[in-house]
Amino acid sequence: MFEDHEPHKGGAARVLAVVNQKGGVGKSTTAVNLAACLGGLGKKVLLVDLDPQGNATSGFGLNRGERQQCVYDALLGDVPVEQLIEPVEVEHVFVIPATIQLAGAEIELVSAFSREAKLKSMLAPIKDDFEYIIIDCPPSLGLLTINALTAAEGLLIPIQCEYYALEGLTKLLDSFRLVRTHLNADLTVFGVVMTMYDSRTRLSQQVVEEVRDFFEDKVFDTLIPRTVRLSEAPSFGQPITLYDPTGKGADAYRSLAEEVVSRV
Ligand SMILES: Nc1ncnc2c1ncn2[C@@H]1O[C@H](COP(=O)(O)OP(=O)(O)O)[C@@H](O)[C@H]1O
Ligand SMILES: [Mg+2]
């Protein structure tokens, strides 16, 4: 159980929001596997699922059985956040799950007091208990995502190696600047991770070049390859490090985790 773990000794957690308002670019895959690989490096990690779809929750096998409570209950209800933290199969890794109940939050937040800072307040009492807090965002720039941007110190932006990869990113960067100006002066773009890279196609290479021209050294050296194993793992409720520990996908996410740690 969560209570059995000693808080880590290094001060407040680094809070990273995995964000891109496009769906299907690899946010949840990155959130789950990065969390697992940071755990593998001995880092104490909390993954907060902020998407009503709950893909990060089910990605860690937490969707089974009926769940009474989810992140919603601490965000907009009065359930203490500590009660929502669940251990997973990977040592050092914990998850605050999301259920479809969170879908209502987007509307309820509109009229809530201090509506952009709900997640920040929710995380405040547990920030010292983890080294990393990773937030998996929904595919929109609505209030849930704005809450993630307000609570985070860095954005981790997955970009799929596909046509129009950069399309829509100006909108995300507009939101980033607005949040930085009005709500969270410390927010930075922590890094950009290229996902579903296919080394055999010229397109993948072109997209990486294009994104590197735009984001320069924000782009991680690690390229996440497109592999069937990465797409299969969630249906087994396992991160890639358990489902296919010796494959290319696990190697890539381990290497990404090392880059993340070295940037911090
Ligand atoms: N590197 C990859 N290789 C193959 N399939 C991937 C990879 N990354 C993600 N996928 C698959 O692509 C789909 C979208 O990924 P997901 O992480 O859910 O995106 P998002 O959270 O941005 O909507 C999922 O079916 C996922 O399993
Ligand atoms: Mg997702």
DSSP secondary structure letters along 194-239: EEEE-TT-HHHHHHHHHHHHHHGGGEEEEEEEP-HHHHHGGGGT--
Residue range of the domain that includes 136: 2-263
pLDDT of residue 67: 79
Count structural domains, the chain: 1
Residues in the chain: 264
Ligand nearest to the Cα of 144, by number:
2
Amino acid identity for residue 201 in this structure? T
* Protein residue whose Cα sits closest to atom 6 of ligand 1: 231
Please state, in angstroms and rounded to a whole number, the distance separating the CA atoms of residues 195 and 200.
Answer: 14
As a 3-state breakdown, the chain gives helix, strand, coil percent values, each rounded to 5, of: 50, 15, 35
Count CA atoms closer than 13 A to 42's CA, side-chain side.
Answer: 1
For residue 183, give the 3-state DSSP assignment.
coil
Is the distance from the beta carbon of residue 28 to the nearest atom of ligand 1 less than 6 Å?
yes
Is the distance from the beta carbon of residue 230 to the nearest atom of ligand 1 less than 6 Å?
yes
Residue 115: how many CB atoms within 10 A of its CB? 15
Q: Give the domain CATH number at 111.
A: 3.40.50.300
Tens-digit pLDDT profile for the chain (264 aa)?
344 445 555 678 899 999 999 999 999 999 999 999 999 999 999 999 999 999 999 999 997 667 789 999 999 999 999 999 999 999 999 999 999 999 999 999 999 999 999 999 999 999 999 999 999 999 999 999 999 999 999 999 999 999 999 988 999 999 999 999 999 999 999 999 999 999 999 999 999 999 999 999 999 999 999 999 999 999 999 999 999 999 999 999 999 999 999 999
Q: How far is the CA of 62 from the centre of ligand 1 (A)?
A: 18
Q: How far is the CA of 237 from the centre of ligand 2 (A)?
A: 14
pTM, entire model: 0.96
Encoded tokens for 210: 């294009």
pLDDT of residue 197: 98
Please state, in angstroms and rounded to a whole number, the distance separating the CA atoms of residues 124 and 186.
Answer: 16
Q: How far is CA 64 from CA 33, 58, 68, 97, 234, in A?
A: 19, 8, 12, 12, 13
